[in-house]
Structure 1
Amino acid sequence: MFDGAIWRAIGAAKCRAVLASLVAQAPDPVHTDQLIDEVWAGAPPKTAPTQIHGYVSRLRRLLGDAILTRSALGYRLVAEPGDVDALAFESWIGSANAALRRGDTDLGTRLLGDALALWRGAPFADAAVTDRVRVRVERLTELRLSALESRFDAEIGLGRHAAVIGELRALVAEHPLREQFWRQLMVALYHGGRQAEALDEYRRLRSVLVEELGTEPGSGVRGVHQQILDGTLRPGGVRQLPAVIPDFTGRRAVAGAVVDRLISADGDAPAVVVVHGGPGTGKSTLALRAAHQVAHAFPDAHLHLDLAGTSGQPRPPAELLAEILRCLGVAGQNLPDGVAARSALLRSHLADLRTLLVLDDASGSAQVLPLLPSNGRSAVVVTSRHLLTDLPGARHVELGTLTAAEGYELLARIVGEDRVGAEPEAARAILRYCGNLPLSIRIAGGRLLGRRSWTLEVLAERLADESQRLAELKLGDLDVRASVDLSLRSLPEDVVRGFGLLGLLGPHEFPGWVLAALLDRPRADDVLDVLVDANLVQLVSTDRAGQPRYRLHDLLRVYAAERAGESAAALERLLGAWLDLLARAQRRRPPSMFEPVIGEPPGWRLPDAVAQRLVRDPLAWLDAERKLLSGLVRLAAGRRPDLCRALTAALVPYHDDRAFYDDWLANHDLALRLNHGDLGRAELLRGLAHVQIYRGELTEAAGNMTRSLVLFRAAGHVLGEGLAASGMATIDRHRGRYDSSLRYVNQSLDIFVRTGNRAMEAQLRCAAGRLLVARGRLDDARLWFAQALEIATADGDVHREAVVLRELGELRHRAGESHQALRDLDRALGVFTELQDDRCVAYTLLTRGQVHADLRDRDRAVPALLRAAEMFRRNGNVSSEQDCRQLLGVLDG
């Protein structure tokens, strides 16, 4: 250790191990448990914490308390890049690469030389080789070799061939299997006028590879060898493709499509593939993988440019052109000014070459177009977070998340198959929380790799907390939150705000119009288009109502929710719009006794034309929005109890039409846990009681309906009182208490006659007729049915007409008029089928099956009963399904 004046020895091996771990992690803190795990390799003594404290105290005496500090997480080496050689090395390498990208080859070469001069042997040479140190050593070693390769390419590009030959000979001796050094040595020798030596080096390399590995040299070296033989090797022999990630997983079909397109370059224009996708989907990894697979087909040059499209300042085309041209030997006074002139010169240089370009992280087509070759023997692969649909002739490949199997395979490759195989359920939980996003899986795997004492369950539990998930998915330079930040940085303010507000919707697909409500705009298609083009929102399908549906990836949703900010007004607008649409949809359906009884103040509304188009087919629209609406009820419960109650009540007619009893019950259970006034509670209790009637829970239904009736009556809410009394009539009818049921019918009927509610009057007269049929008073029942039918027909209430016809069919069958009964039932069945009322269809089929059974017409009875039983089963109506099965059993007997 050098303290600025002299070198000081660190005696104890374990003390050196502690220092090595702190240096390897600097400037981030290292937890005490991690230090213990590092020093004792997973088998520490009981005194390990005390010993760690002693080692740290010894180091503090050497370094000073200001340099080695205690943090809440453990210990931290406070170090600037210049204080630790490894940090300085990485910093200078970054600056050198940036200079080379700008086309400043002289500065880049000088910085690479300065960085490499920091090496004085193997890193961490006298420290114990722990996991943390091993990872750091491997990274530094690979970075040094890559830096050497970059410096030699730059030197060769500047014509300094003779100056690098000696170093390259030493490096091929030290690293005989690293083909890049051999390739550079061959190029330097050839351009130094030593063609025979260059060919001899190729023979030496081939002999080494065949003897050591049983393989031939790679395509890059073979291409240079062939160009030397042909005399066509141009200055520089540019081979800029970075190394591929060794644990590349999945994507076989997509990668194959990219490869097929790239090698099809043969015509008037180059093959261009744009790999686009959201942050963290692995676009660059896939592009490089495909580029390496096709590199042999483009022997003249392999160019790689970072376009910095997601940075604060995407690189201008003029700068990018200068970098490419310098790599091709154009520098100094020969480099023209202006994008057009440089682009023309590039096309001229590449006209006869078979060139592969990888343009990484493009901000848009304007950045890419000037860089394209003009000949059809070249190929270009572009990565971008944006859709570059205005790039002529390009093939677009969208990259999403990994499949569950691919994600599992990637995690196993990073962490180890044994470790993942020991906890498969925890591994799958981690992948779910990572959303099968390659970047997040790599981060999660890296965290596990650096914490051998963690089980996978520990990480899964930490990721389960949505509020902390993005904080957990950070490892060094890999950071999911930072990756998304880059995507948002260049977007307009209203687009960023809209993205954040979409996080309110939860993990559901949503229609595009919701963004208009969130942003308080009549339309927000332009904002949504930007988000889709930036791959921050996914277009996933078109629903039955003809609406495009969108979603946020789970991690993007968590990020968006963090950015939602003050969202109370946006949420109120959104829920108000839904309530308006639900009311519009119900007005296009037959009248329902389940419609809300509490009027709501006007809320935010979509333009009339848009709203009417959405609910044109109300059931199809409601079916498409079912899951999202349930999610909105839960969202409202946490923030706006009044709107939670309003949504719950507004959905009951739909839940009744479709017999979605589970949704109906869950919403009411949730809403009733919240504080409401007496009227709100009365409405919810009535809704809960009705679904309990359908579920056969008559005792519970009676208690809730009674409480609802009392609350409505006490509040003087006449409509609510009448509906609750009608509900009590239904409950007593199911209990066989016909006299009590009829009294409730008359109470309710009196209210609705007085208030002029003809739809409810028709329903109650039908209910009275049904009770009289049950009592055997058929002639009296006919009168009530006739009155109900007259009202429904006059009002155009076809649904109520069908209900009356179904009940009238039961009466006529009992009166011996079975064939007329079947005609009435067939008419009713046609109406219910057209209205898509599955529950009423099932009840009508049951009655029809009973009539056919009584007529001993088994061939017609069985199909009707089987269909009814299946519909009852699907809707959760156990008692009615049993009625069907029992009747079928009698027929089979």
Structure 2
Amino acid sequence: MLALQRSGRKAEALRSYATIRAQLVDELGVEPGADLRGMYESILADDAPAPAAPRQLPPDLPDFTGRADALAALAKPFQVAVVSGPPGVGKSALAVHAAHALRERFPAGQLYLDLDGREPAELLAEALRALGVEAAPPTPRERSALLRSLLAERPMLLLLDDALDAGQVRPLLPGNACSVIVTSRRRITELPGAVQIDLAEPPQDEALSLLDRHRADDVTDLLVDVNLLELVGTDPVGQPRYRLPDLIRHHALERGHDREALSRVLAAWTVTTEHAMARLPTTVFSLTAARAPRWRLPDQTLDRLTADPLGWFEAEHDSLAGAVAVAAEAGLAESAWGLAAAMVPYLDLHCRLDTWQRTHTLALAAARASGDTYGEAAMLRGLAQVALYQDRYDEAAGGFTRSRRLFHELGDVRAEATSICGLGAVSQFSGRQARSLGHFRRALAMFLAADDPHGEAFVRQAIGRVHLRAGELAQASESLRQAMRLAQELGDSHREGCVCLQMGNLHGAMSFHRHALDIFESLGDRHCGAYALQSMAGLQVTRGELAPASAALERSLEIFQELGDRSGAASTTQLLGELHRSAGRTVLARDYLKHASELRRDLPVRTSGA
């Protein structure tokens, strides 16, 4: 009704009201509502409310630079002007700046449409909505006609941004009283009488005036304004995120063979990643590339970026993995494996095993190609840890053994000890408790010699776990007590949680299990949290608390399945079967126990001699 009335078709608008009123009365037995009746009465009185003038132009650039000739051409009267040029040359920035200069000529308003590959029918509906037409006609031809009718009474300035071709633009063109600015990557010559403004790269003096500015945020804003960067949102730590348009990114990569420039970028990534890593709750297996280039941001900036280290890693996860790949491809081995190694504590904490495997595989190849023995050892150790988590024990043992040998040849006692810890874990999970204890005791002596209290806390907890599983409760208690003291002195909350878990198993105390679970959940460590749930459920079963135990086991099973921990899933499924059997749910228990048996059959055979 409103569209018909505003386009001068009052009689048709009134007939529309009569039609809808008849339908409402006949089919629903009700009269039209107050809004519809009010519109009918206003049409009768010829005083339908005038819509507010749309003011849709994007923000102007107060420090717009250059393009004097193009601006002069757009300052003259025109019906249609086409601004064309390659991506990033500043078409949209020029069009917006010129449109703001013309606003006073068009008091009825300014419409802005981002064409970007969209269909004319959709664009026409958007324009009509801006003019107050809620229900657009069904066909593009009718929508185009209605748009022209409305704009004939209200001359406006239209900015049609990023047009594909003339066919996309023609349905949007108004009558003679309006002006239209079109931007496009191609020169659109099929619009009769259009003013053609072809933009090329700006002259050197204009380009220099436009850039780099004394402040980085100024430069970033300008790059966004001229479409060399795209703002895509805000990351988990509240910072704006940008990306390069595809064409510009590919062009930059093609020309990005300047190793010095690439090395500088990677050097900044390395320092920032290591700074964030040092703030994580656990860094026991961290290794660093001592000779990798480093470029340090100002301390205040570093501290602000990594104030929430987990949030920073979460935000930069994909970028860091990409940086490793770029460094490896460019043959910058130390930067590649240094970044990959610095990510390990975060990847371990959040069980990002796919990224861990991918980055270490790339960096390992780069280290070997460049003859970087330390980098090779570090990446072999990291890949062995992933294999251990995925129950590939022979592969894990091989990786830990090779990395240990290389670290020993290089004389790095601490790094060698981390590989020996891996061998201890493989032996323990393979059921060789005595051999496991020997590995851990050897690693403990090496961590003590290297004056590494974090490593000492880890290995004392591991020794306590071995004693506990062997039923040697006094030895287990002593080792765990020492590990707890170290963890608390170091402020290593993650290690404290691991020790609490073992303490709970040792003393049968629910308070230890709950404290461990609280720590793991606060750190976002779902993997260790799943083991805490599993242990807590075991204690609940012995107390006869079957309902909460079942819920805890179901939660842990879901996490194990999501993270791909097959042995964890098998043990939890077994416990669920035993729980349902004790509760008299025979059929359900049989299903769980059968599934647990199938899961264990799928696990690799534990033949490792580690």
Q: Does the TM-score normalized on the shorter chain lie above 0.5? A: yes
| Amino acid paired to 1:861 | A
Return the offset for 1:646. 0.9
Structure 2 residue 69 is matched with structure 1 residue 314: yes
* Aligned mate of 2:282, from 591, 602, 613: 591
Partner of 1:274: 57
* Aligned mate of 2:227, from 519, 535, 548: 535
Partner of 2:312: 621
* Contact in 2 for aligned 1:275/1:399 (Cα 8 Å): no
Structure 2 residue 563 is matched with structure 1 residue 875: yes
| Structure-2 change in CA distance of 1:603 and 1:442 (3 Å) | farther
Return the offset for 1:693. 0.3
Q: What is the CA–CA distance in structure 2 between the aligned matches of 1:857 and 1:442, rounded to whole Å?
A: 71
Partner of 2:326: 635
* Aligned mate of 1:866, from 538, 551, 554: 554
| Structure-2 change in CA distance of 1:575 and 1:320 (3 Å) | closer
* Contact in 2 for aligned 1:659/1:839 (Cα 8 Å): yes
Q: What is the CA–CA distance in structure 2 between the aligned matches of 1:597 and 1:773, rounded to whole Å?
A: 34
Q: Deviations over 1:509-534 (max 9, x none)?
A: xxxxxxxxxxxx99521111011112
Higher relative contact order, chain-length normalized (CA < 8 Å, sep 6+) = 2
Return the offset for 1:311. 10
Q: How does 1:35-434 map to 2 (within 5 A)?
A: 272-274=55-57, 314-317=69-72, 323=77, 360-361=82-83, 363=94, 367-368=98-99, 371-373=102-104, 376=107, 378-381=108-111, 398=114, 400=116, 402=118
Partner of 1:768: 463
Q: What is the CA–CA distance in structure 2 between the aligned matches of 1:322 and 1:495, rounded to whole Å?
A: 26
Q: What is the CA–CA distance in structure 1 between the aligned matches of 2:74 and 2:493, rounded to whole Å?
A: 71
Find the residue that maps to 1:363 and give its secondary structure. Answer: helix
Partner of 2:178: none
Find the residue that maps to 1:591 and give its secondary structure. Answer: coil
Structure 2 residue 180 is matched with structure 1 residue 489: no
Q: How does 1:506-525 map to 2 (within 5 A)?
A: 524-525=216-217
Find the residue that maps to 1:550 and give its secondary structure. Answer: strand
Return the offset for 1:316. 4.5
Q: What is the CA–CA distance in structure 2 between the aligned matches of 1:571 and 1:406, rounded to whole Å?
A: 44
Cα RMSD of the aligned pairs, angstroms, is 3.7
Return the offset for 1:714. 1.0
Q: What is the CA–CA distance in structure 2 between the aligned matches of 1:370 and 1:703, rounded to whole Å?
A: 71
Q: What is the CA–CA distance in structure 2 between the aligned matches of 1:834 and 1:863, rounded to whole Å?
A: 20
* Aligned mate of 2:536, from 839, 848, 857: 848
Structure 2 residue 524 is matched with structure 1 residue 836: yes
Q: What is the CA–CA distance in structure 2 between the aligned matches of 1:495 and 1:636, rounded to whole Å?
A: 33
| Structure-2 change in CA distance of 1:853 and 1:495 (3 Å) | farther
Find the residue that maps to 1:539 and give its secondary structure. Answer: strand
Could you tell me which runs of 5 or more consecutive residues in structure 2 were left unpaired when the two chains were aligned.
Answer: 1-6, 8-47, 84-92, 124-161, 169-184, 191-195, 582-610
Partner of 1:810: 505
Partner of 1:107: none
| Structure-2 change in CA distance of 1:440 and 1:374 (3 Å) | closer
| Structure-2 change in CA distance of 1:773 and 1:366 (3 Å) | closer
Could you tell me which runs of 5 or more consecutive residues in structure 1 were left unpaired when the two chains were aligned.
Answer: 1-218, 220-262, 278-308, 325-356, 382-395, 408-436, 444-472, 499-520, 813-817
Return the offset for 1:668. 1.4
Structure 2 residue 580 is matched with structure 1 residue 885: no
Partner of 1:117: none
Return the offset for 1:743. 1.1
Structure 2 residue 332 is matched with structure 1 residue 549: no
| Amino acid paired to 2:498 | V
Structure 2 residue 337 is matched with structure 1 residue 645: yes
| Structure-2 change in CA distance of 1:552 and 1:857 (3 Å) | same
| Structure-2 change in CA distance of 1:879 and 1:496 (3 Å) | farther
* Contact in 1 for aligned 2:533/2:552 (Cα 8 Å): yes
* Contact in 2 for aligned 1:276/1:399 (Cα 8 Å): no
Q: How does 1:752-767 map to 2 (within 5 A)?
A: 752-767=447-462
Q: What is the CA–CA distance in structure 2 between the aligned matches of 1:440 and 1:733, rounded to whole Å?
A: 68
Q: TM-score, normalised by structure 1?
A: 0.47
Partner of 1:709: 404
Return the offset for 1:371. 4.0
Find the residue that maps to 2:483 and give its secondary structure. Answer: helix
* Contact in 2 for aligned 1:495/1:531 (Cα 8 Å): no
* Aligned mate of 1:750, from 436, 440, 445: 445
Find the residue that maps to 2:443 and give its secondary structure. Answer: helix
* Contact in 2 for aligned 1:768/1:784 (Cα 8 Å): yes
* Contact in 1 for aligned 2:420/2:440 (Cα 8 Å): yes
Q: What is the CA–CA distance in structure 1 between the aligned matches of 2:217 and 2:200, rounded to whole Å?
A: 19
Structure 2 residue 258 is matched with structure 1 residue 567: yes
Return the offset for 1:568. 2.4
* Contact in 2 for aligned 1:264/1:271 (Cα 8 Å): no
Q: What is the CA–CA distance in structure 1 between the aligned matches of 2:342 and 2:279, rounded to whole Å?
A: 14
* Contact in 2 for aligned 1:531/1:537 (Cα 8 Å): yes
* Contact in 2 for aligned 1:276/1:397 (Cα 8 Å): no
Q: Deviations over 1:656-689 (max 9, x none)?
A: 0000111111111222222242111111100000
* Contact in 1 for aligned 2:292/2:335 (Cα 8 Å): no
Of structures 1 and 2, the larger Rg is shown by: 1
Q: What is the CA–CA distance in structure 2 between the aligned matches of 1:803 and 1:441, rounded to whole Å?
A: 66
Return the offset for 1:619. 0.8
Structure 2 residue 553 is matched with structure 1 residue 822: no
Q: What is the CA–CA distance in structure 2 between the aligned matches of 1:439 and 1:276, rounded to whole Å?
A: 23
Q: What is the CA–CA distance in structure 2 between the aligned matches of 1:868 and 1:759, rounded to whole Å?
A: 28
Q: What is the CA–CA distance in structure 2 between the aligned matches of 1:440 and 1:709, rounded to whole Å?
A: 64
* Contact in 2 for aligned 1:769/1:784 (Cα 8 Å): yes
| Amino acid paired to 1:852 | Q
| Structure-2 change in CA distance of 1:664 and 1:373 (3 Å) | closer
* Contact in 2 for aligned 1:701/1:731 (Cα 8 Å): yes
Q: Deviations over 1:718-777 (max 9, x none)?
A: 111111111111111111111111111111111111222111111111111111112111
Q: What is the CA–CA distance in structure 2 between the aligned matches of 1:441 and 1:822, rounded to whole Å?
A: 73
